[in-house]
Amino acid sequence: MRIVVNDIAASCGGAVTILKDFYDYLLQNDHDNEWIFILSDGYIAGHDNIRVILRPDVKRSNINKVIFDLLLGSRFIANLNPDVVLSLQNIITFGLNIPQVVYIHQVLPFQTIKRFSFLKKDERVYAIYQYLIGHLIKESAKKATKIIVQSEWMKSCVVKTIGVESNKIIIARPNIREISQQVLNIKYTSNIFFYPANSAVYKNHDIIYKACEILNDDGCSDFRVDLTISGCSTGNINFVGALPHDEVLFRYRYATLLFPSYLETFGLPLAEARQMNSVILSGDTEFAREILVGYENAYYFNTDNPRRLADLMKKVMCGCITQLHSQSRVVSAGNEWEKVVSLLLSLAL
């Protein structure tokens, strides 16, 4: 079988992580089928049965990307003679008469929690994804042969928003790395908190800043919050910038995870921290409840209630909340990409 994987949009962050994770799975597990990746840059290398085609011209502007997805891409991909096409970039290639599977990891067009505004500078880019690009993503999902999402919560959002049958959607959770015993032996520190997230508005850093102010007003100041965004560290807030993944895992183990984000397709830090047996203070969201179901070290707060977050942080510091040895810390077993490859091969028959 010949499968084309379109991921021209991938350039950083989670999108490249998904791409590389899928590529690594194929290197280890599929030597019989032909895979052709269409990318904007050399994030992966060709191999025996894997070919990489670079199209940086498509990624050069948003207009180029839209023209390729709507008009020019169908001819380019059809000339590769694939049996099935997988898009890892939220949108199919319109105009192809070939089975297409779309992997949707962009939540903004499908959620109703927050309506972003074109008029607010810090929300404009999210409004574009929610309404303009979001329209293409939703139309694409309707036309796709199958849809892949990362969680039950995301599946529910897609079904409710565009009205597709639930059996058109499969769930493939991100794979969680095995944790070494050496890392699990790291000692937990009750007055250090950690939030690995970018600076997107919906990551909700403001509630952490307000909770820290409340704690200081209450006379509780012997603590530190490490944030993986840029800034000038001051008081209890320590801006550490982007960290290597191994360092993130290390910090899960000795610190308490804060996770106030109110919009995620999955919420990978929650799953990784659970795997590490971390104490987790999370916003009370559907995706968080799904990932943390049955986990003894999870505590919740409303994502607009800094007082509740401050109270939970205080309980951690004073020992009222302690790190329990959870019997249910493992999120999932097996590799979810196996499910994706099986789907693609079934459509190509």
Report the pLDDT value the prediction gives residue 11, as an integer from 0 to 100. 86
Residue 249 vs residue 326, higher pLDDT: 249
Tell me, yes or no, whether 252 and 113 share the same domain.
Answer: no
Tell me, yes or no, whether 26 and 166 share the same domain.
Answer: yes
Tell me, yes or no, whether 15 and 108 share the same domain.
Answer: yes
Tell me, yes or no, whether 93 and 56 share the same domain.
Answer: yes
Tell me, yes or no, whether 160 and 217 share the same domain.
Answer: no
**For residue 301, is it within any domain?**
yes
Tell me, yes or no, whether 154 and 205 share the same domain.
Answer: no
Residue 221 sits in which domain range?
181-318
Which residue shows structure tokens 């600076």? 199
Report the pLDDT value the prediction gives residue 187, as an integer from 0 to 100. 85
Give the distance between the most distant pair of CA atoms in the chain.
Answer: 68
At 290, the pLDDT band (50, 70, 90 cuts) reads very high
**For residue 186, is it within any domain?**
yes
Tell me, yes or no, whether 59 and 151 share the same domain.
Answer: yes
**For residue 254, is it within any domain?**
yes
pLDDT digits (tens, 9 = 90+) for 67-88: 999 999 999 999 999 999 999 9
Report the pLDDT value the prediction gives residue 46, as an integer from 0 to 100. 92
Question: Mean pLDDT across the stretch 246-270?
Answer: 93
Tell me, yes or no, whether 45 and 142 share the same domain.
Answer: yes
Give me the number of domains the chain comprises.
2
> For the domain that residue 303 is a member of, what is the CATH number?
3.40.50.2000
The helix or strand, by DSSP H or E, that contains position 101, with its residue range, turns out to be strand 100-103
Q: How much is the pTM?
A: 0.91
Tell me, yes or no, whether 25 and 145 share the same domain.
Answer: yes
**For residue 343, is it within any domain?**
yes
CA quadruple 102, 103, 109, 112: dihedral positive or negative? Answer: positive
Tell me, yes or no, whether 226 and 265 share the same domain.
Answer: yes
Tell me, yes or no, whether 77 and 203 share the same domain.
Answer: no
Report the pLDDT value the prediction gives residue 12, as an integer from 0 to 100. 79
Tell me, yes or no, whether 82 and 163 share the same domain.
Answer: yes
Q: Which residues, at least 6 apart from 119, have a Cβ–Cβ distance to it below 8 Å?
A: none
Q: Which residues, at least 6 apart from 37, have a Cβ–Cβ distance to it below 8 Å?
A: 4, 5, 7, 19, 23, 44, 50, 51, 52, 53
